[in-house]
């Protein structure tokens, strides 16, 4: 179930960005935040980044990677 909770949080983050008409957000920091908040999901920051990027693009939200 921890992975499901993480997936819901990813979907919520993308939906919230779209609802606020915030069509871009810092992908890396959001992925770090979500991975840290859900350690039991056993997903790396890279895994979360990949899924967050895919979901963002599918929803029309442009993920931005800050250095």
**19-32 per-position pLDDT tens digit:** 887 666 788 999 99
pLDDT band at 67 (very low <50, low <70, confident <90, very high): low
The model's pTM: 0.84
Domain that holds residue 43: 2-64
The per-residue pLDDT for 18 is 84
Interaxial angle between packed helices 2-19 and 45-59, expressed in degrees from 0 to 180 and rounded to the nearest 10: 40
Residue 45: half-sphere exposure toward Cβ, Cα within 13 Å? 8
Q: What is the mean pLDDT of residues 33-47?
A: 94
User: Whole-angstrom Cα distance, residue 16 to residue 10?
Assistant: 10
Q: What is the DSSP letter of 64?
A: E
Total structural domains within the chain: 1
In 51-60, which positions are buried (b, 16+ CB within 10 angstroms) versus exposed (e)?
A: bbbebbeeee
């Amino acid at each position: 179930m921890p992975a499901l909770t993480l997936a819901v949080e990813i979907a919520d983050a993308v939906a919230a960005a779209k609802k606020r008409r915030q069509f871009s957000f810092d992908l890396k920091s959001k992925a770090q935040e979500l991975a840290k908040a859900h350690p039991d999901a056993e997903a790396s920051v890279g895994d979360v980044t990949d899924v967050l990027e895919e979901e963002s693009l599918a929803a029309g939200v442009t993920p931005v990677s800050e250095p």
